[in-house]
Chains A and B, each alone.
Chain A
């Protein structure tokens, strides 16, 4: 059974203070790893898909990286509007359309 563990559970940063969120995963064979952002009471917003170890993707202040056991979401010089819960999810080759979500990291960026 696929497992996804995210850390830390919550993170409080000053505006401009860079940091990283961690997503550790266990799958029989990784088909894809996804990062989502979710604001309170809203649906998750897709950020990135990573397929293989060594892959990196960037979008504005966010950069996602992937190894064989974990993924990092690096946040450079965050702004208050980056405050949200960040969800990591994985899909394995046997999982058809099913993805397994981690419990998320709640990020708060203070002005």
Chain B
């Protein structure tokens, strides 16, 4: 099973709201990722968690706050977003670190609209 699940599928929020995106995988993967994807653009890396610790933060604004409660779950907390933050947010996981390159498996994404 190579499934990564994400909830919700769609989210509309105002600029003063607080919401969270959730991601789950049961493949035993030890690395998890958040990406942002705008229309007709490739996925843009936001955060990487490796063994439940934040290992990469691609200079993402503080209105995005990631959390990794355990090895299977990844959250992205959203607060005071801007309309330009509207995008498809993708979660991915991979087997982990090591001496080789591991493919990432993506979830279906959350379509976020900020009004």
Q: Could you list which residues of chain A lie within 8 angstroms of chain B, going by C-beta atoms? A: 31-32, 34, 36, 41-46, 49, 51, 87, 89, 91, 96-99, 101-104
| CB within 8 Å: A-B pair count | 64
Whether B107 lies near A97 (C-beta < 8 A) is no
Contact with A along B73-104 (1 / 0, CB 8 A): 00000000000000010101010010011111
Bound-state CA distance A38–B112 (Å) is 18
- In the bound complex, residues from chain A placing their C-beta under 8 Å from that of B109 are 41-43
Q: Could you list which residues of chain B lie within 8 angstroms of chain A, going by C-beta atoms? A: 2, 4, 6, 31, 33, 41-43, 45, 48, 50, 55-56, 88, 90, 92, 94, 97, 100-109, 111
A8–chain B nearest beta-carbon distance, Å: 14
Whether B108 lies near A97 (C-beta < 8 A) is no
- In the bound complex, residues from chain B placing their C-beta under 8 Å from that of A102 are 42
- In the bound complex, residues from chain A placing their C-beta under 8 Å from that of B48 are 96-98
Whether B97 lies near A101 (C-beta < 8 A) is no
Whether B88 lies near A96 (C-beta < 8 A) is no
Bound-state CA distance A49–B45 (Å) is 19
Bound-state CA distance A104–B94 (Å) is 21
